[in-house]
Amino acid sequence: MRPDGDGFVAVDLLGRERTGVVDWLTAEETLETVGIGYLADIYELEQEDGTRLRVRIAEVSPRRVLVKHDDFGAVGIPQVYIDLPFPAPEGLRPLRR
């Protein structure tokens, strides 16, 4: 949670705001409801040239978000990682199916 004036903003592990300015309890409840399961989802990463890659989140820290090209669990192929800034850029979003 990030203090903002007399209230707080709930911020998820990707550094994205989940609420506007709310009281502490509302921010806490929001983050509990969100949980951490979204980190296991499949994402798409829109690159500067407009192409989109299917990726999974490999690591999140206050310094970076590391994503891995989704290789569908293939064994023995090179793993491709992409280092993103924190907070995660807008181009990283859940894959729409």
Contact 92, 45 (CB under 8 A): yes
Overall number of domains in the chain: 2
Are 53 and 89 part of one and the same domain?
yes
Query: Which residues form the domain of 80?
Result: 39-94
Tens digit of each residue's pLDDT (9 = 90 or more) over 36-82 = 999 999 999 999 899 999 999 999 999 999 999 998 878 888 889 99
pLDDT of residue 76: 85
Instruction: Give the Cα separation of 75 and 83 in Å (integer).
Output: 22
pLDDT of residue 42: 96
Are 51 and 83 part of one and the same domain?
yes
Are 28 and 43 part of one and the same domain?
no
Contact 82, 89 (CB under 8 A): no
Lowest average pLDDT, out of 1-5, 39-43, 71-75, 92-96, goes to 71-75
Instruction: Give the Cα separation of 63 and 60 in Å (integer).
Output: 8
Are 50 and 22 part of one and the same domain?
no
List CB contacts of 2: < 8 A, sequence separation 6 or more.
8, 9, 11
pLDDT of residue 40: 93
* Residue reference for tokens 């300015």: 21
